[in-house]
Amino acid sequence: MLLNKKQDLASQLRRTKILDATLLLFSENGLSQLRIAEISKRSGASIGSIYHHFKDREGVIYALYHDSFVDCFEQLRQSILEETDAESGIKRFVVSYLQWVFENPAQASFIYAASQEEILRRHQDELHAFKSQFYLDIFSWMSPFIQSGELLALPPWAYDAIIMGPAHEFSRRWLGGLRDLSMEEAQSIIADAVWRAIHID
Amino acid sequence: MLLNKKQDLASQLRRTKILDATLLLFSENGLSQLRIAEISKRSGASIGSIYHHFKDREGVIYALYHDSFVDCFEQLRQSILEETDAESGIKRFVVSYLQWVFENPAQASFIYAASQEEILRRHQDELHAFKSQFYLDIFSWMSPFIQSGELLALPPWAYDAIIMGPAHEFSRRWLGGLRDLSMEEAQSIIADAVWRAIHID
DNA sequence: TTTATTTCTAGAAAAATATTCTAATATTAA
DNA sequence: TTAATATTAGAATATTTTTCTAGAAATAAA
């Protein structure tokens, strides 16, 4: 009753076209120059249609943020869960994130740009729920290694800062104009550094 | 001929009042809700006066970004240069940054928010010059320790990611609503982690 | 099938906001 | 004292977002 109706498909397609145009325009001119009228022109959707599907400008931005975000997190979650020892898992996590950035630079830039906006406050609860589940999964993977003394025992917030901080910092710079830096080299250097920071000999 | 004229002082004062109001309004409603008309009301400066001093809305944002940025970097530069051994220096650097964030949360938030904007592209050269000088100073401090084998020899970009990444990641979260996390605890945990990541036994 | 209901589209009208412009005032230089 | 420059003020204009109304398309009900 809910799927595969003509309207659903058309609606989904329109939504996708709007978000595709949005990402493209963001890549060209940045978030603050993103204009509804431009999205309309570029996507072929009327202004009314955009507002119908996304409520307002922030709604468009949030939808694209959300989709990109979920895509990235799912890849990360899968990666780490495939590994069975601490060192491979932690390094794979870092490498996978950088790989996602490498493969999806526009989305990655968009996430960083949008995450600075207050937009997210409006959807705080939904985002928080998603992130919480994600961190739960990661934690339950790490937990045995913390118990066994392979990984440092730290307050929960510290893992994110120590494990993901360097990759985020590098990504922001790589995306922001330093794309000639080798992502492959960065993956190995940063993964090694994180491992030194987080494990116990 | 250039200093202490009545006009310079009054002008400086007005500029300061505009930027103070801007920071306050940003703290209350975020960057995207920052309105020139509001800044005018809050600061007592007319709209014309704001445009006279800052050219346009982005000009106001850039000026505040620049001032905050310089303040932070100067404190960091001083901190590390006061230290004479590798471990104290690296740890002091991380701790000082977190301390600056702790003491200037509004400015810190503003820097993170503004750094995502394309605004900075307009002033890229000026910013780049300032940052380059800063990194030169930091590098020349680190250099002997890299030579002597106390610190890892890495490509230049890697130091920033590894040393500052965790502090930035923590700061963003702390500023974004987790202010009950102990900054003191974070300083020690993160400084230790960075040291493990960057030194050679 | 016919009719009613809901979803979607279109773009003009309205509201919100940024920017420009002109005139007046204050300060500095000549 | 006079001319030139810097600053202020806020109305007028331009840009952009958002709302609104009407109609088309799809679905559900009869």
Task: Read off the tokens for B174.
Answer: 């702390």
Chain A 28-47, CB < 7 Å to strand C? 44-47
pLDDT of residue B109: 97
Q: Which residues of B touch A185 (CB under 8 A)?
A: 155
For the stretch B104-125, pLDDT in tens is 999 999 999 999 888 888 898 8
Q: What is the pTM of this model?
A: 0.94
Which positions of chain D lie under 7 Å from any protein Cβ? 6-11, 16-22, 26-28
DSSP letter (8 states) at residue A33? G
CA distance linking residue B175 with residue B177, whole number of Å: 6
Task: Read off the tokens for B91.
Answer: 């740890």
Q: Which residues of B touch A181 (CB under 8 A)?
A: 157
CA distance linking residue A137 with residue A80, whole number of Å: 10
Mean pLDDT of A42-50: 96
CB B109 within 8 A of CB B61: no
Given B31, B118, B166, which is nearest A161 (Cβ)?
Answer: B166
CB B196 to CB A194 under 8 A?
A: no
* CB contact burial A53-91 (16+ within 10 A = b; e otherwise): bbeebbbbbbbbbbbbbeebbeebbebbeeeeebeebbb
For the stretch A121-172, pLDDT in tens is 888 889 999 999 999 999 999 999 999 999 999 999 999 999 999 999 999 9
Q: Is the pLDDT of residue B5 over 90?
A: no
Q: Which residues of A touch B190 (CB under 8 A)?
A: 158, 161-162
- Chain A nearest-CA residue for B198: A193
Mean pLDDT of B32-37: 96
Given B116, B185, B189, which is nearest A113 (Cβ)?
Answer: B116
Q: Which of B58, B98, B119, B157 to mutate to test the interface with A (most CBs of A within 10 A)?
A: B157
Given A116, A155, A193, which is nearest B162 (Cβ)?
Answer: A193
